[in-house]
Structure 1
Amino acid sequence: MSEPAVPYEPTERTVPTRSRERASYERELVHSILDEGYVCHLGFVRDGAPVVLPTLYGRIGERIYLHGSTGSRPLRMAGEQDPGLPVCVTVTHVDGLVLARSAFHHSLNYRSVVIHGTAHQVTDPEERSAALDALVDGVVPGRSADIRPANAKELAATAVLRLDLDEVSAKLRTGPSNDEPEDLALPHWAGVVPLTRGHGTPLPADDLDPAVTLPDYLKAL
């Protein structure tokens, strides 16, 4: 029987100022939130002003990887700066709309992860290849083994960032609305509207050879 994973160590930047009871540093929970997502938001400072960009990501162990054009701002800055680019990366899932009897207590049920750290460009060919596979498989598991790999020209135009999962925390809200006791008798509906994610039926490309059948990993979605 394996030992439980050691939680991440809280830091000044990963301890929330509000609703601290919703924060978690459990490693498995952080990983599960990251692995369920498609898009993260990458924040950094450029010319003294904050910039936040949505982008795909993938996780391998205790690192996440992000990719982009070699000419994109964060990728270029991570290569120019030594020892890397200070960033903040966030991932959020919304699980429900929390409708209270008062405007003040309306909320969302959610799961989120915030990662602080220094992003570095990945230059090792083997690590770059594994990172790009993780990005593809993060969208559809098993996809990277069923496509043409990037060629030399495509790899030359693609940069990859890595960010260690070191200074990281999760935050969650679950449950019903938190109405004030004096509001419980008000004649307003209160409760939670659950939100779920689903996949539609795959639509083949117009120019797809009819002989190419739907792969099992897509059927599994």
Structure 2
Amino acid sequence: MPENAAPAAHGAPEAHGAPESRGAYEPTELTVPTRGRPRASYDRELVHSILDEAYVCHLGFVRDGRPVVLPTLYGRVGERLYVHGSTGSRPPRMAGGGAGADTGLPVCLTVTHVDGLVLARSAFHHSVNYRSVVVHGTARQVTDREEKLAALDALVDHVVPGRSADSRPANAKELAATAVLRLDLAEVSAKVRTGGVNEEPEDLGLPHWAGVIPMTTRYGAAQPDRELDPSIALPGYLAAL
């Protein structure tokens, strides 16, 4: 999968918090798991790598007293995550104004990679190898125009690095219809499972196959749009995928 890239067409939003890829996040009551604590990590570099390798996050919040979870694209710039949506949707209106505002939407954002199927002799010990990140915080709507433009570039470049510079930027009408939410990386934890089967000693002799089936994500061959001018060659940054 591609690594995340900085926005290209506009100045990047100011990085927030501790320098990138240094140190660890401070554990909090929300980020310390009740089970599987040895698998939890607060390493900043690990968290960033898991976030940068995924494409879709799940954004959870409470609406009208009911929990809601929405899958959405996102982008990371330093110690901030950005997600976008329609200005008419509920999350942006609930999130309110920009930096310094006393409004905001409490959220929980998660990202997960499945790296392998762990098949045990017993049904109880089946599992998966995975890498995940959970972010707790308050999402706020981005109102500064330059930060919004840079955040949208970051969202595009998160999917394919370099793409924002090779596509038409949003026009005034599109910007007016699009809301961007900012979530600072502060209360953050990663959780990882690797390795093989954990089995009960008395089950080792059972006549069932056991082991790990690795899983990876691969790119297929590029499929040009049928209206694409034949003279437009596949860009190098796409051929590299």
Q: TM-score, normalised by structure 2?
A: 0.89
Aligned to 1:190: 210
- Cα contact 2:20–2:78 (8 A) shared by 1: no
Q: Which residue of 51, 64, 87 maps to 2:81? A: 64
Identity of aligned residues (%): 78
Q: Which amino acid aligns with 1:95?
A: D
- Counterparts of 1:66-85 in structure 2 under 5 Å? 66-79=83-96, 82-85=102-105
| SS of corresponding position for 2:67 | strand
Aligned residue pairs total 220
Structure 1 residue identity aligned to 2:67: P
Number of the residue aligned with 2:237 = 217
Q: How does 1:1-221 map to 2 (within 5 A)?
A: 5-79=22-96, 82-221=102-241
Counterpart CA distance in 2 for 1:82 and 1:165 is: 18
Q: CA offsets per residue over residues 20-63 of structure 1, 9 Å max, x none? A: 00000000000000000100000000111100000000000000
Q: TM-score, normalised by structure 1?
A: 0.97
Which AA in structure 1 matches 2:143? T
Partner Cα separation in structure 2 for residue 202 and residue 109 of structure 1: 30
Which whole-Å CA distance do the structure 2 matches of 1:151 and 1:8 have between them?
Answer: 38
Counterpart AA for 2:93: R
SS of residue paired to 1:55: strand
- Structure 1 residue 146 displacement after superposition: 0.2
Q: What's the C-alpha RMSD, in Å, of the aligned pairs?
A: 1.5
AA aligned to 2:184 is D
Q: Tell me the amino acid that sits aligned with residue 32 of structure 1.
A: S
- The letter of the residue matching 2:34 is T
Q: Structure 1 residues 162, 197: closer, same or farther in 2, change over 3 A?
A: same
How far 1:83 sits from its partner (Å)? 2.1
Matched residue SS, 1:74: helix
Whole-Å Cα distance in 2 between the matches of residues 56 and 73 of structure 1? 17
Unaligned runs of 5+ in 2: 1-18
Tell me: CA distance 1:3–1:43, structure 2 relative to 1, closer, same or farther (3 Å): closer
